[in-house]
Chain A
Amino acid sequence: MKSQCDKCGKPATVHLTEIVDGHKAEKHLCEECAVSEGIAFKTNLPISQLLEDFIRQTSQPEDDPVCQACGRRFSEFRQEGLLGCPNDYDAFGGQILAIIERAHDGSSQHVGKVPHAGAETQKKQTDMLRLKAQLKTAVAAEDYERAAAIRDQLKKLEQEQA
């Protein structure tokens, strides 16, 4: 194997074989040249940076879902790398799924520990989040009748969970 970098002549550490239209092409690069070519990752790059780059590369700007429970936009997540609430995982659908698969080596199904309460409470959790958001809006709009009704629903859910 060729031991020098094609570009600068330093010792090559990245070796690449590409087959394009049936023709084989080999590349031998040193770490620095490989990074500048976009073939290798820079060392010591934090995960969050990798994720941000990836999110920027993969998502389409015109498709920007909003979570009804917390009001977070997908574009905000794309910028900051952090979600607003548990419901975002459903609200951002396929876009979040792609990011999860990429971050977890192709996996998107949890196989580890499950809480005693189990996943049945999942819907309740999301309902509670949505109700809390609605309660806030109702109070802000001074619609106290509606706020009281929402509060009762919340109480009921909380009792069921306990």
Chain B
Amino acid sequence: MKLADLPKNDCQWLRGVGPMHDVVISSRVRLARNIAGMPFLTKCSPQQQQDLEALLRKTLLEAQLAPEMLYVDVQQACELDRQLLLERHLMSKPHAKAEHPRGLAVSADETAAIMVNEEDHLRMQVLRSGLQIEQAVEQIARIDEKLEARLDFAFHSRYGYLTACPTNVGTGLRISTMLHLVALKLTGEIEKAFRAARDLHLAVRGFHGEGTEAVGDLFQVSNQTTLGRSEQQIVEEFCTQIIPQFIRYERLARTSLFKRNALAIEDKICRSLAMLRSARLISSAETLYHLSLVRMGVHAEVIKDVDLKTLNALFLMIQPAHLQKVRGQEIDSVTRAVVRAEYLRKTLGGN
């Protein structure tokens, strides 16, 4: 498997056909681990960073974590490749932007991705389509076991697994779901939902994680506390109490939108589809705005001639690095607007 093959593949987390896919786009679980007897990245010398990268690269490739693993030397990778991996949610923004020795291991199906030398020595993640947290947790626990057989992780009898930032200490487990909350946004109830989320000790973030904007009405909701509860408790609470609430609120909001004025909302949805099928120049922000409405339209059966898989793929393919990869060359932002519009017309059968 090569890095160049990625844009041609279906992206696991955007396949969008998992359980509760009308609201839950994807589920992600992450574990943070550090090697015992080594400083955290902030206090690693350049030599130690290099040694860590070499050790972890070797371990990740030998540990048979997946049938096929790709390892990317992120320090050596070009900017476009780093942007591509970021758009596919295989690595974080800080990891894409940093300059020190670091890497990324990705399984061929893109469900597992492990960052080397990010904030912690190891940041492992498993991504699944729709609401599949339990399955993702099972997969990541297997990866953790295999790595623990080969590595010693920094561990404290009181604080558990030690991490560079004390907000991740304990289990090191963070669960996130990417939610499509278009109706809550339209009805203006989203703030209320977020306040409720904060009362439940949850973090709500944008499309690309911490400190990023929400685009296309996509929000990441994740647990904040990683200490004082077992992995099982964290998962159970998240799956049985928290996420079902969000799904219920969003579905209620969708129903009430259509009940209040079905024609107005159908009009909004159909205009968005027309925009995507007709535009000659379009930015990614505008595209995501319309894609969001069309996605709701497909689930509400207002739009019947666009399938969900095509639509989900568009959320990814219209982003800058993906457009450039499809074109096979670097293009500036003005030309990207043209190429994006062409791509949308071609995919959605526009004129």
User: In the complex, what distance in Å separates the CA atom of A72 from the CA atom of B164?
Assistant: 12
**Inter-chain contacts of B224 with A (CB < 8 A):** 47, 103, 105
Nearest-CB distance from B162 to chain A (Å)? Answer: 5
Interface string of B32-61 (1 = CB under 8 A from A): 001011111111000000000000000000
**Inter-chain contacts of B144 with A (CB < 8 A):** 113
Nearest-CB distance from A119 to chain B (Å)? Answer: 4
Stretch in A1-9, A17-25, A78-86, A137-145 with 4+ CB within 8 Å of B: A78-86
Contact between A82 and B165 (Cβ–Cβ < 8 Å)?
A: yes
Q: For chain A, give the interface size range.
A: 35 or more
Contact between B159 and A110 (Cβ–Cβ < 8 Å)?
A: yes
Contact between A125 and B231 (Cβ–Cβ < 8 Å)?
A: no
Contact between A41 and B229 (Cβ–Cβ < 8 Å)?
A: no
User: In the complex, what distance in Å separates the CA atom of A81 from the CA atom of B168?
Assistant: 12
Which of A103-157 touch B at CB < 8 Å?
A: 103-117, 119, 121-122, 124-125, 128-129, 132
One of B160, B169, B228 near A105 (C-beta < 8 A): B228
Interface assignment of A46: CB less than 8 Å from any CB of chain B: yes
CB nearest neighbor in B for A107 = B228
Interface assignment of A96: CB less than 8 Å from any CB of chain B: yes
One of A81, A112, A117, A121 near B160 (C-beta < 8 A): A112
Contact between B169 and A125 (Cβ–Cβ < 8 Å)?
A: no
Contact between B210 and A43 (Cβ–Cβ < 8 Å)?
A: no
User: In the complex, what distance in Å separates the CA atom of A156 from the CA atom of B162?
Assistant: 24
One of A43, A82, A114 near B40 (C-beta < 8 A): A82
Given the contacts A84-B42, A104-B170, A108-B158, A132 and B148 also touching, CB distance less than 8 Å: no
Given the contacts A129-B39, A132-B37, A47 and B152 also touching, CB distance less than 8 Å: no
**Inter-chain contacts of A129 with B (CB < 8 A):** 37-39
Q: Which interface residue of A69, A104, A129 has the most chain B CB atoms within 10 A?
A: A104
**Inter-chain contacts of A115 with B (CB < 8 A):** 148, 152-153, 155
CB nearest neighbor in A for B224 = A47
Interface assignment of A91: CB less than 8 Å from any CB of chain B: no
User: In the complex, what distance in Å separates the CA atom of A55 from the CA atom of B164?
Assistant: 15
Nearest-CB distance from B248 to chain A (Å)? Answer: 21
**Inter-chain contacts of B148 with A (CB < 8 A):** 115-116
**Inter-chain contacts of B228 with A (CB < 8 A):** 104-111
User: In the complex, what distance in Å separates the CA atom of A83 from the CA atom of B163?
Assistant: 8
User: In the complex, what distance in Å separates the CA atom of A73 from the CA atom of B198?
Assistant: 32
User: In the complex, what distance in Å separates the CA atom of A10 from the CA atom of B230?
Assistant: 43
CB nearest neighbor in B for A49 = B211
Interface string of B226-246 (1 = CB under 8 A from A): 111111000000000000000
**Inter-chain contacts of B24 with A (CB < 8 A):** none
**Inter-chain contacts of B37 with A (CB < 8 A):** 124-125, 128-129, 132
CB nearest neighbor in A for B222 = A47
Interface string of A22-39 (1 = CB under 8 A from B): 000000000100000000
**Inter-chain contacts of B161 with A (CB < 8 A):** 110
Contact between B225 and A103 (Cβ–Cβ < 8 Å)?
A: yes
Stretch in B200-208, B278-286, B292-300, B314-322 with 4+ CB within 8 Å of A: B200-208
A residues with CB within 8 A of B: 13, 31, 41, 43-44, 46-48, 51, 69-72, 80-86, 89, 96, 99-100, 103-117, 119, 121-122, 124-125, 128-129, 132, 161
Can you give 6 contacting A-B residue pairs, CB < 8 Å?
A: A13-B192, A82-B40, A112-B230, A115-B152, A122-B155, A122-B157
Known: A70-B39, A108-B228, A110-B228. 11 other contacts (CB 8 A): A41-B198, A43-B194, A46-B211, A86-B154, A89-B162, A96-B166, A111-B230, A113-B171, A119-B155, A121-B36, A124-B37
